[in-house]
């Protein structure tokens, strides 16, 4: 597993934890940062995980509006929490991280959904992220 894949998993843990525990992302991030201090072997994945979470927080309104716009028949609150977190990570990477090709961001989110979410989640996430990639400025 690549360092970036591990970082996405850590970012997912932070976002998912905040969502299901009904705490702020900042509180969840602080808990993960404390854990990271005690696990220096995981430092390489922590830096990118932190960048993802900070990016999602900085652009959450925009990201959530895109999810609501393109998630036909689904509101944000009807989605499984893991799907919300995966979509937020994927959209942030597609729109705000030029170092990650859109196809990689989509593939990583779909793979995680296949392992961690419902049977229908991978297809749903793939379709929504592909649409975001098509309509983003400069696409």
- pLDDT tens digits for range 50-73: 999 999 999 999 999 999 999 988
Q: Which residues of the chain have pLDDT under 50?
A: none
Question: What is the CATH classification number for the domain harbouring 103?
Answer: 1.10.940.10
The number of domains in the chain is 1
What is the chain's Cα-based Rg? 14
Domain assignment of residue 59, given as a range: 3-135
> What is the percentage of the chain residues whose pLDDT exceeds 90?
78
pLDDT at position 72, please? Answer: 84
Q: Burial, 38: exposed, middle or buried (Cβ in 10 Å; 0-12, 13-18, 19+)?
A: exposed
pLDDT at position 139, please? Answer: 65
pTM summary value = 0.94
């Amino acid at each position: 597993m690549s360092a970036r894949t591990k970082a996405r998993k850590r970012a997912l843990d932070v976002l998912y934890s905040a969502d299901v525990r009904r705490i702020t992302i900042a509180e969840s991030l602080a808990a993960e940062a404390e854990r990271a201090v005690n696990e220096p072997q995981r430092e390489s994945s922590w830096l990118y995980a932190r960048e993802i979470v900070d990016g999602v927080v900085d652009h959450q309104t925009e990201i959530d509006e895109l999810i609501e716009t393109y998630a036909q028949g689904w509101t944000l609150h009807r989605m499984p929490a893991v799907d919300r977190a995966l979509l937020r990570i994927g959209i942030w990477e597609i729109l705000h991280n030029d170092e990650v090709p859109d196809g990689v961001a989509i593939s990583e989110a779909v793979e995680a959904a296949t392992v961690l979410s419902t049977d229908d989640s991978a297809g749903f996430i793939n379709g929504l992220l592909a649409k975001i990639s098509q309509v983003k400025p400069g696409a």
